[in-house]
Structure 1
Amino acid sequence: MENSFFNSVGKAGIGSRLRMLQEKITDDAANIYRMFGIDMQPKWFPVFYTLSQGNFTITEIAQHIGHSHPSVSKIVSEMVKKGLVTEGKDANDGRRNVLSLSGKGKQVNEKLQYQLVDVKNAVESILDNTRHNLWEAIGEWEFMLEQKSLLKRVQDEKKLRESRDVTIVPFEEQYSKAFRELNVEWISTYFKMEEKDYQSLDHPQEYILNKGGEILIALYKGEPVGVCALLKMDDPEYDYELAKMAVSPKAHGKGIGWLLGKAIAERAKARGGNTLYLESNTMLKQAISLYQKLGFKKVVGRFTPYERCNIQMELQLNN
């Protein structure tokens, strides 16, 4: 029945399958300890084994076995109550509390040596009779999850899937309301609307499109949820400016900002632009991170008409 379920749900059930495997092994481990006459819980093993190698502080044990300090502290308290561990001052540094196996703990450790040999041989017997080496696979999974957690990988997949329902389209009059409302919502959340904002948002045709700029709209399943403008600049250093980017809060996490930014950069390049400029504020950490991923770099010494601007960035389009 279990195999039927996991064959049906597939790899999405990995957490449940690993938990069931862990429960089977943990139950067996508890019975193995009893078989060897050892009064110890399986979860204590990493701490106990570490202390069998010498005296350590809770912090040192936590770092060594990769557990949290509170987790190790709780296990140590349980082992102290069982009389397996004692706590004392470091002979070389009286400020440090060190842990060591008690006399009872050392006796348990002697019994444990026979158990470790038999468990090791039993595990190797299983590995010898399986096509895939679980021990090596666990090491590979640990390495991969250190590089990027499962949570982050699922977030990336979710963003990729949802981004397939996003379409970037050129501005039309029907999107005037969305262009204004999304920007007003975004600006008002963090700052205050300024005169330059009202000019371009109330009259996009006059202040953006007629001056050689563009506006792009991001549609999610047909609904306008993101906007961004490309402004033509009258400047010897910069050709175009990325401005008025806003994404509805309900559409966050779908990669819409990235898609809009890439599309605006492509439009600027297609128009013969060499550099793309933008202004922002460092309190907008996610926005700054997005710009950096798009390839923007910080520049200084530029005049800005906006009070809220404290960082300026540029993107070389022909790199």
Structure 2
Amino acid sequence: MKFFQQTGKVAIGSRLRMLTDKVTEDAAKIYQLYDIDVQPKWFPIFYSLSKGEEITITELAKNIGHSHPSVSKMIGEMLKKGYVAERKDRLDGRRNVISLSSKGKEIYSKIDDQLIDVAAAIEDLSAQTQNKLWEAIEEWEFLLEQKTLLRRVMEKKKERDGLKVNIVDYTSAYKQAFKSLNEEWISTYFVMEESDFKALDHPQEYILDKGGAILVALYEGKPLGVCALIKMNDGEYDFELAKMAVSPKAQGKNIGFILASAIIERAKSLGASKIYLESNTILKPAINLYHKLGFQKIAGKPTPYSRCNIQMELIIT
């Protein structure tokens, strides 16, 4: 950014264009994050037509501050997607009026959740700025380098999705979910082993009856995550955090962190002072999660699992 430091405010157009390009790139990815097939440049048209009114291209261009040719081109693109409908004005047959089609209304309804998270991310970003516009541009550039708008929106999405997560105690009603969720992730990366079948086929006898616990994460009422505490009697650790699995369907919803945090709290309530776990370093998101929760790598000890190549502990204070 040495060029802008030398030129100062006279290069504001170029600098804003660069910032605009960065935000627009994230905007496209944000639509993908919510599975919405929309180009960011179409949003003003969607918003203007969302009230259900029919409007001419000339009026639309005036409302959103774009040129008539620019709006005509975007309308043509949206017509190909089936998002807008075009017809002759009943009062003046020389004019065409535009409205959202049923498909367009369906798409716009999906944008509502996105707008909540984008607005929250922008508010967070704005709250971190304190200077006038020119200085604020520098702050925004720095902050977006540290964490993109896409990442900020993803975090807000995680927070909001987390409100839909309910952690409950295991009952026999969740026996199949406990087994299938674990089998799914183990089989994706490794091979099921004898110790897996012992715990998954007989969770009551192998885990609960021995003083352990199992928690289930419900997302909108569906069991999409499970985690267990297995009682240890080695004189060093109280419990092993094990059999943690989250459905790929729940990816990005913060369920892993919420579930692991809940199982640690359960261990605390049971008087635990040290928790042990085994994992594999190819599971980078899981290892990062454990570090975030305070687990530290320890020297190896005997394990029944061939897939284990890292062992960690959490000292509860």
> Helix, strand or coil for the counterpart of 2:180?
helix
Matched-pair contact (CA < 8 Å) for 2:300–2:310: no
How many Å separate the matches in 1 of 2:184 and 2:195? 16
- Residue identity in the other structure for 1:215: I
Name the counterpart of 2:209.
210
Matched-pair contact (CA < 8 Å) for 1:275–1:316: yes
Matched-pair contact (CA < 8 Å) for 2:225–2:244: yes
Matched-pair contact (CA < 8 Å) for 1:227–1:247: yes
Q: Percent identical across equivalent pairs?
A: 63
Unaligned runs of 5+ in 2: 1-43, 51-63, 68-130
How many Å separate the matches in 2 of 1:172 and 1:133? 57
- Residue identity in the other structure for 1:306: Y
Name the counterpart of 2:288.
289
TM-score (ref. length: structure 1): 0.59
Query: Is 1:144–2:143 an aligned residue pair?
Result: yes
- Residue identity in the other structure for 2:133: L
Query: Is 1:251–2:228 an aligned residue pair?
Result: no
- Residue identity in the other structure for 1:217: V
> Helix, strand or coil for the counterpart of 1:309?
coil
Matched-pair contact (CA < 8 Å) for 2:207–2:213: yes
Equivalent residues in 2 for 1:25-36 (5 A)?
none
How many Å separate the matches in 1 of 2:300 and 2:206? 25
Cα deviations by residue, 1:150-188 (Å, 9 ceiling, x for unpaired): 111011001111010000000011000000000011100
How many Å separate the matches in 2 of 1:163 and 1:301? 34
Unaligned runs of 5+ in 1: 9-19, 25-131
How many Å separate the matches in 2 of 1:183 and 1:174? 16
How many Å separate the matches in 2 of 1:282 and 1:139? 38
Larger radius of gyration: 1
Equivalent residues in 2 for 1:81-160 (5 A)?
133-160=132-159
Matched residue count: 196
Task: Give the C-alpha shift of residue 147 in structure 1.
Answer: 2.1
Name the counterpart of 1:234.
233
> Helix, strand or coil for the counterpart of 1:282?
coil
- Residue identity in the other structure for 1:256: I
Name the counterpart of 2:70.
none
Name the counterpart of 2:26.
none
Name the counterpart of 1:310.
309
Name the counterpart of 1:88.
none
How many Å separate the matches in 1 of 2:287 and 2:143? 28
Task: Give the C-alpha shift of residue 305 in structure 1.
Answer: 0.7
Name the counterpart of 1:38.
none
Matched-pair contact (CA < 8 Å) for 2:297–2:311: yes
Name the counterpart of 2:168.
169
- Residue identity in the other structure for 1:273: A
How many Å separate the matches in 2 of 1:226 and 1:203? 18
How many Å separate the matches in 2 of 1:209 and 1:268? 13
- Residue identity in the other structure for 1:250: K
How many Å separate the matches in 2 of 1:238 and 1:245? 18
